[in-house]
Amino acid sequence: MHKIVPIHAGEYEAEPEITVKVPGRFHLLGEHTWFAKGNTLSMAIDQGLFLSVSQRPDQNYRVYSVALNERKKISSSNLKYRKEDRWANSVKAVVSSFMEFGIQIPGLNFTVLSEIPPDAGLGTPNAMKVAAAIALRSLFAPNLSDANLVALLERANTHFLKTYAHRADILTALYAKAGHLVRIDHNKINADLVAFPDEGYSVILTDSRVPRLLAREELALRIHECVRAYEIVRSDPDAPADFNQLTESILEEITDIPESVRRRVIYIIRESESVREAVNALASGDWFSFSRIVNRSHEGLRDRFEISCPELDWLVKRALEFIIPDSPDLVCSRMTGRGFGGCTYAIIRTADEESYARKLDEYERIFGFKPVRYKVTPSDGAGILRS
Catalytic residues: 169
Torsion of CA 276, 281, 284, 285, to 10 degrees: -150
Residue of 106, 141, 348 lying closest to 358 (CA atoms) = 348
Please state, in angstroms and rounded to a whole number, the distance separating the CA atoms of residues 116 and 129: 14
* Packing angle of the helix pair 124-140, 167-175 (nearest 10 deg): 60
In sequence order, the 6+-apart residues with CB closer than 8 A to the CB of 313 are 302
How does DSSP classify residue 340?
S
Contacts of 185 (CB under 8 A, 6+ apart): 37, 39, 192
Check if the beta carbon of residue 102 is closer than 8 Å to that of residue 109: no
Give the span between the Cα atoms of 62 and 218, in whole angstroms: 34
Compute the radius of gyration of the chain from its Cα atoms.
Answer: 21
Sequence-ordered strand ranges (E) for the chain: 18-29, 39-55, 60-65, 70-75, 108-114, 180-185, 191-195, 201-207, 332-336, 343-349, 372-376, 383-386
Q: Which amino acid is at 207?
A: D
Angle, CA of 223, 225 and 226, to the nearest 5°: 65
Sign of CA dihedral 250, 256, 260, 261: negative
